[in-house]
Amino acid sequence: MPKRLNLVGGDDPLFPVQAFFNSISERGFVEKIRQLVARVGAGIDGAQCEFPGDLEPWEQKFEGVRFSLYEDVVVVVVPVFQMFLLEACRMHVKDHPEDRARLAQILGERADSL
């Protein structure tokens, strides 16, 4: 079974964000990060990440990035999303240093902290 991240745990109000990033498998990690940086949402094992551009015309609009884990939903501002994204990348690079260059290319100017 592929190893998964473990960003944080507990009774945190941002648990859906943590659950989403923790559900990204090692094997598909780089491509999933590419997708998220392009602001394309994804769903993995019941955890969802959605951007306003992913909505259908009849769906309620929101600003930021929406994460859900089944019925538990939280909308975060973009800097919070970016913080989690970078932390997930840092954790991944610790175990997969061979992915550092590809992630740096995807992240652009945000890659300085990898």
**For residue range 57-96, what is the model confidence (pLDDT) as tens digits?**
898 999 999 999 988 999 999 999 999 999 999 999 999 9
User: Domain total for the chain?
Assistant: 1
Report if residue 56 sits inside a domain. yes
Report if residue 6 sits inside a domain. no
**Rounded Cα gap, residues 54 and 18, in angstroms:** 20
Q: Could you please report the per-residue DSSP string of 73-84?
A: EEEE-HHHHHHH
Q: What is the pTM of this model?
A: 0.84
pLDDT band at 6 (very low <50, low <70, confident <90, very high): low
Report if residue 21 sits inside a domain. yes
- Could you tell me the residue range of the domain that residue 94 belongs to? 15-108
Task: Return the closest-CA partner of residue 53 out of 67, 68, 63, 43.
Answer: 63
The type of residue at 51 is: F
pLDDT value at residue 93:
94
**Rounded Cα gap, residues 10 and 41, in angstroms:** 25
